Amino acid sequence: MDVRERMADRFSPTIYDLGGLGGWPEYSEQDEFVAEIERQVHIYQQLGFHRHENIGMSADKLKDVIMGAIPEFQQIPHWRFDIPLTVFGQIPVDEQAALVGGIYNDIPTQDQSLIFDWQQDPQDYKTPKAVYLTWILDGGLCLGRTVENIREILLTRSYERRGSTLHDGMGLLIVHPEIFVPSRSSHNIDLPGTEIGTDKVPSVRLDAYRSDLSIDVRPIATADPEFGSATCVRKMVIIS
């Protein structure tokens, strides 16, 4: 089942009728939280991430190491950040897209060599070359705001949050593709934790013409009511 089929299979109007903050489960029960991480791991297992040369372990071993990190992950304060997320930082994004299927990389060839973690991050964040667990906000609370504006806020709130990166965005796309299904509260996502040159960032969006998900490029100074910048809690659990 590729990402397009899972978009349809996982779409739940109930999630989005609440809209924005509070629209995602709060995982107040231990069993619900564990079940969500296990669901994400199962998706990665189905896609064969454990067989990638940068992972090289059995599906069961992958599950064990990720699930074993849950107690530490649950100790991280996450405030309004309402989505727990499993991310594979050691697998290049284009290779993840190939494993998933149904995702187009529309970043122009001339820009591919200009992709880096945001170099002005006040704590010099670098994407771990490992599996990690993080908390993310999907950008729905800041629709219509420029990436420039969001980065200004991040510079003053650096102790608690960071801009979501291209790897974070790919993780969100893989485990929650329903975010992009057209509905009252669906939206596209800018990723301010990654830079493409000096004035652009990657974004994840639904391509209206192809009906496929696309990783694209957007100017940091352009506001669009259908785009919002995703952010993450700065503290995370790095697994392997």
pLDDT at 14: 30
Angle, helix 166-175 to helix 93-100, in steps of 10 degrees:
10
pTM for the model: 0.87
Residue whose tokens read 């189905």: 46
Distance CA 200, CA 111 (A): 10
What residues contact 114, with CB distance under 8 A and at least 6 apart?
Answer: 195, 196, 197
pLDDT at 205: 86
Structural domain count, the chain: 1
189 sits in which H/E element? strand 188-190
pLDDT at 21: 39
In tens digits, the chain (240 residues) has pLDDT values of 555 455 444 433 333 322 333 444 555 557 788 999 999 999 999 999 999 999 999 999 999 999 999 999 989 988 778 899 999 999 999 999 999 988 888 888 888 889 999 999 999 999 999 999 999 999 988 899 999 999 999 998 777 899 999 999 999 999 998 887 766 557 899 999 999 999 999 999 877 655 578 899 999 999 999 899 999 999 999 997
Range of the domain at 102: 3-238
